[in-house]
Amino acid sequence: MSEETYKGRAFKFGDDINTDEIIPARYLNTSDPAELAKHCMEDADPEFPSKVQKGDIIVGGKNFGCGSSREHAPIAIKAAGVSAVIAKSFARIFYRNCINIGLPIFESPEAVEGIEEGDIVEVNPATGVIKNITKGTEFKATPIPPEIRKIMDAGGLMEYAKQKLQEK
C-alpha cells in the first residue's frame, strides 16, 4: 500500500454541492475524463477549471456530491488533478463512486471549519490526519481502511479487480 500523503491548495465550497454543480449535465454526453476536467465545478466557481492545479484539495460542506448517481462527478474531480476531497459529510452514492474510481475522500467537520480557501492542506490517508500547513493546525478524519486504500492505490475498483484476476 502507498504511504503517500495528499498536499495542495484548498478550494472551499459550501453545503449540498450536487453532482450537477460538480459536472453540469450539459457535459454528460462525453465520458472523456480530460474533457470532463475542463468543466469541473464550473457552475459553482466558473474559474475553478483554470485555477485548479494537480494535487489541490476540494473542501466541501455537508452532503457533498448529492444528486444523481453518475460517476461523471468524481471522475471530473479526479481528472482535474484534485488529490482529495474533504467534507463535513458526503452523499452515500457519491462516496461509493469515489472509492470506485480511486478518489480519496475524508469526512471531518472540524477540518472543514478550520480550512479557508487557498490554505495549503496535507492529508495522510493511513492515519486520517489533516494538517492545515498555512495555519499550523491539525484535524482528524477517519483513516481510509487498508482494503479501500488498496482499491484507491490501484486507481479504482476496476483496476483493482484486474490486478486480482491477474494474480490468480
Q: pLDDT tens digit string along 92-113?
A: 999 999 999 999 999 999 999 9
pLDDT band at 70 (very low <50, low <70, confident <90, very high): confident
What pLDDT, on the 0 to 100 scale, is given for residue 4?
85
The reply to whether 1 falls in a domain is no
The count of C-alpha atoms lying within 13 angstroms of the C-alpha of 131, restricted to the half-sphere facing its C-beta, is 11
CB 71 within 8 A of CB 94: no
What the block records as the C-alpha cell of 8 is: 495542495
Q: How many CB atoms lie within 10 A of CB 93?
A: 17
Q: What are phi and psi of 125, to 5 degrees?
A: -65, -25
Residues spanned by the domain of 41? 6-167
User: How many independent structural domains does the chain possess?
Assistant: 1
CA 65, CA 48: separation in Å to the nearest integer?
Answer: 17
Give 68 or 109, the one with higher predicted confidence.
109
Residue 146 neighbours by CB distance under 10 Å: 9
Looking at the domain assignment, is residue 88 inside a domain?
A: yes
* pLDDT score for 2: 59
CATH code of residue 96: 3.20.19.10
Cα dihedral 100→120→60→95 (10° resolution): 10
Q: How confident is the model at residue 168 (pLDDT cuts 50, 70, 90)?
A: confident
Rounded Cα–Cα distance for residues 58 and 9 (Å): 8
